[in-house]
Structures are given as structure tokens and as C-alpha cells.
Amino acid sequence: MADKKVVFAEFSLFIITIIWGLGFPITKLAVNYGFEANTIMVGRFLTATIILGIIYRKRLKFLNRDILIYGTITGLFLFFGFFFQTLGSVYTTPSKNGFITQLNIVFVPYLYFLFFKKKVDLFNIISVVVAIIGMFILSYSSNGFSGVNIGDIYTFICAIMVAFNVVTGSFYQKKYNFDPALFVLVNIFVSMILSVTFMLAVDEYPEITVISLWPLLVLGVFNTALGFLVQSYALKISLPTKVSLIVALESVFGVVGSVLIIGEPMTLRLIIGGLLIISGIVITEIKPFRKRRMVRLT
């Protein structure tokens, strides 16, 4: 029975990973409709807050001061991660946005060292070198590194923020044994409040039609609300390393979606750079995965 649950959790996460990958070109479509970064994020987080608030309404009575404080801290990293990712999508291609975002997995071991005092080993160092080379190849052109644009830099900052969100979330939940559902809900609520604040302060609003709203609803319902639910379930049932490896495919599906949905050209530079970033992620994750298997076998 347990094996069936694991298979179901991992298959569900695989489907969500496809949806997350498609989120990159869908975000670009929202940008093309005239929506600015904060407005897109309001669409995501407001929708997700409503849906998850309804699903977890019976647990809201268990909210306490610690969940609110540490959920807010982690939520700040979540907000800025999505903010810089969405802002990056305005200036760079969805494929580059997806691959560079995945660098967060490579940065996680270094943050784990800061928070959990777990040593960074040779595999972690190699993974960073390989992934960074991949990032530079993505941005290289016949004119040198003129292909690097502000969107790539914003997305790189996004990867750092996401890594902080993952590690601080893990740190606080392990230290205080929080209910993951409530903790995630606080994260999303904080991101929603900040998104609304920034939207009202700096965004200009396009002419809104029913058709132009669909990317925001898709991102809110499927990429955020459903995505967080499934990822939380998968982390509870499956191994964290297997979850990370499945999620690493997000950028691959982002490329496929970008080619099919918005007609982004597939280049050799994109393929090689993307493969190097994915290789860096696999190098980071495969060693602890082997260790976990050895422990299980003993």
C-alpha cells in the first residue's frame, strides 16, 4: 500500500512539474497581455490564498505566533523569489527564465551549511561550476556575452531567493514542528499581501478582458495552489532527493512549452546550456540519494 502511495505521489508531482514548466511561457503570455510583474503575482497568490484557505479552513484555529512570525520570514523569500522570476520573464525568454531559476537547487547545499552546519563537499562544488558554465552558455552569443540581459540577472536573484525560501522553510519546520499546510498558507498569504501592496504602488493596469485573465487564473489555480498541495504531499510521502530530481525537469518542460506555445526558437546554445544546468542539479542530488538508499538497505 505504501508503495502505491509513493508511486501516486511521485506521478502527481511529475504532472505538476509539467504544469510548472508550462508556467514560464504562460507567464510570458500574461506579460504580452500587458500585465506587470506584481499584478501577475496578485493573480497567482490571491487565487491560491482563497483556494488553500478554503481547503485548510478547519486548521486555521491552530495558527499561533511562531507560525506567523517564521512563516512571514520565509514568505518574504517566497515573494521576492517569484517577484524576480516574474520580473525576469519580462526581459528574457521563458526557456532561460526556467533554466536559471533551477539554479536554486544547486545553491541549497551552501545554505544548508549556514543553517544546519552540513558540510559542502566536492560534488556540491562541481555542481555549481557545471551549472554556472551552463548559465553563461545560455547567455553567450557570437558577440560575446552581450546575450546577458537584465532579465537573466533578475532570474539569477530569483534562484537565490528560492533557495533561501526552501532552506529557511525546512529549518523552521524542523525546529518548531509546524503544520506544513498552515506554514505554506502563511507563506502564500504574505506573498499575496506584498504583491497587492507593490501592485497598487507601482504597477500600471492594462485593459482587462475575460480572455486576458486566463493566464493569471491558470497560474493561481494550477501552478500555485495545486502545485503547493502536491509538492507538500510528495515531500511527506517520497524522499526529498527524489522530489528534487523530479522538480528539476521543470525547466525542460518550460523549454518544450515555450517552443509549442509562443514559438520560441530552439537553439544549440539553449540545449547545451540547459543540459549543463540540469547536470549540475543531478550532481548535487544524486550523492545524497545514494546515501539514503544505502541507509535503507542496511
pLDDT value of position 142: 57
114 SS3 class:
helix
CB 88 within 8 A of CB 97: yes
pLDDT value of position 292: 44
Q: Which residue has the higher pLDDT, 122 or 53?
A: 53
Say whether pLDDT at 52 is over 60. Answer: yes
pLDDT value of position 207: 73
Q: Residue 117 to residues 51, 112, 114: CA-CA distances in angstroms?
A: 37, 7, 6
**Would you tell me how many other CB atoms lie within 10 Å of the CB of residue 207?**
7
Q: Which residue has the higher pLDDT, 214 or 295?
A: 214
pLDDT value of position 294: 37
Residues 6+ apart with CB under 8 A from 275: 134
**At 241, which helix (H) or strand (E)?**
helix 240-247
Q: What is the pTM of this model?
A: 0.83
pLDDT value of position 232: 76
pLDDT value of position 141: 61
pLDDT in tens, 18-47: 999 999 999 999 988 888 888 999 999 999
pLDDT value of position 240: 62
Across the range 94-109, mean pLDDT stands at 86
β-sheet bridge partners, residue 126: none
Looking at residue 219, what DSSP letter applies?
Answer: I
Say whether pLDDT at 138 is over 90. Answer: no
What are the sequence ranges of the domains in the chain? 2-297
Computed over every residue of the chain, the mean pLDDT equals 84
Across the range 52-63, mean pLDDT stands at 92
Q: Residue 126 to residues 139, 152, 240: CA-CA distances in angstroms?
A: 20, 22, 21
175 SS3 class:
helix
pLDDT value of position 1: 45
Residue indicated by cell numbers 493569471: 216
Q: Which amino acid is at 135?
A: M
pLDDT value of position 24: 92
117 SS3 class:
coil
**How sure is the predictor about 248, in pLDDT bands with cuts at 50, 70 and 90?**
confident
Give the Cα separation of 255 and 93 in Å (integer).
Answer: 10
Give the Cα separation of 22 and 70 in Å (integer).
Answer: 31
Instruction: Find the helix packing angle between 227-237 and 180-202, rounded to 10°.
Output: 150
Range picked from 59-73, 134-148, 236-250 for highest mean pLDDT: 59-73
pLDDT in tens, 164-208: 988 888 788 878 888 888 998 999 999 999 999 999 988 787 677
> Which of 246, 264, 186, 239 has its CA nearest to residue 24?
264
Across the range 240-265, mean pLDDT stands at 83
